Structure 1
Amino acid sequence: MGHFLSEPQLTDVRTALSEPFNDFPTDYDYIARQVKGVGPGILYEIFYSEVAPVCFSNLAAVLPTVWTGFDPDWLRARIEERLAARERNWLCRQFDRGLVVWLKYNYGYMWKEITRRL
């Protein structure tokens, strides 16, 4: 993607942005503190293009498997796998493009809560 964050910083930002997808009350002030200094455009791209496609199914599950936080290493690995698949497969790219539109519609309230605190 077009963001220029170091690997540890990117992992921290992705982990913070995954918080609303836990089956636990979300502390949006905490998220804002974790992503401080990263531009809203970059955060928007990471939230919808990288984090939400990997994490949203936790909220959609009848019995969510992640309650208190996604493991940063697991999250990084899943996101990198998805980005690589998107890169090499036209069908994955098209599917994810549609998925991102759906995610923006369904989880826009999360993004609003995050940006209100930036």
Structure 2
Amino acid sequence: MRHLLSEPQLIKILAALSEPFNDFPVEYDFVADKVRGVDPDVLYEILYSEVAPVCFTNLVAAVPPVWTGFDPETLRESIEERLAARERNWFRRQFDKVLVRWLEYNYAYIWKEIASRL
């Protein structure tokens, strides 16, 4: 369903959904404003299947490498690389299925905060 989004719209959504993975307090109203108008099911899928697998390590790092925000273009490229690897490799698909479930469980609060403001 992400294919229904224009490239600029997708980049804006990816950047907004990466905000909760920065090392600063999250302004969930800001995030919700940036993604409002997009189907919540699409946002949920993008958050946990695309953004979180690339960004979550920033939250668990002893010294997070990203403090003020992920570069939108670099983020998009990293996500596209991960999606392509998933497509090419059966083991990667299986690993990522498990990872996505783990991310949905451990970071459920992120979606709750965003969804409550949509």
Q: Tell me the distance in 2 between the aligned counterparts of 1:26 and 1:63.
A: 18
Q: What do residues 50-84 of structure 1 show as CA deviations (whole Å, max 9, x unaligned)?
A: 00000000001000010110000110000000000
- 1:18 equivalent to 2:18? Answer yes
State the secondary structure of the residue aligned to 1:53: helix
How far off is 1:36 after superposition?
Answer: 1.2
What amino acid does structure 2 have at the position aligned with 1:63? V
Give the aligned partner of residue 82 of structure 1.
82
Q: Tell me the distance in 2 between the aligned counterparts of 1:8 and 1:20.
A: 20
Aligned length: 117
What amino acid does structure 1 have at the position aligned with 2:44? Y
Give the aligned partner of residue 112 of structure 2.
112
- 1:56 equivalent to 2:56? Answer yes
What amino acid does structure 2 have at the position aligned with 1:25? P
Q: How does 1:38-49 map to 2 (within 5 A)?
A: 38-49=38-49
Q: Tell me the distance in 2 between the aligned counterparts of 1:36 and 1:56.
A: 23
Runs of 4+ more than 6 Å apart: none
Structure 2 unmatched runs, 5+: none
State the secondary structure of the residue aligned to 1:69: coil
TM-score by length of structure 1 reads: 0.98
Q: Tell me the distance in 1 between the aligned counterparts of 2:60 and 2:67.
A: 13
Q: What do residues 59-116 of structure 1 show as CA deviations (whole Å, max 9, x unaligned)?
A: 0100001011000011000000000000010000000000000001100001100000
State the secondary structure of the residue aligned to 2:101: helix
Q: Percent identity over the alignment?
A: 68
Q: Tell me the distance in 2 between the aligned counterparts of 1:92 and 1:60.
A: 21
Q: Tell me the distance in 2 between the aligned counterparts of 1:93 and 1:86.
A: 5
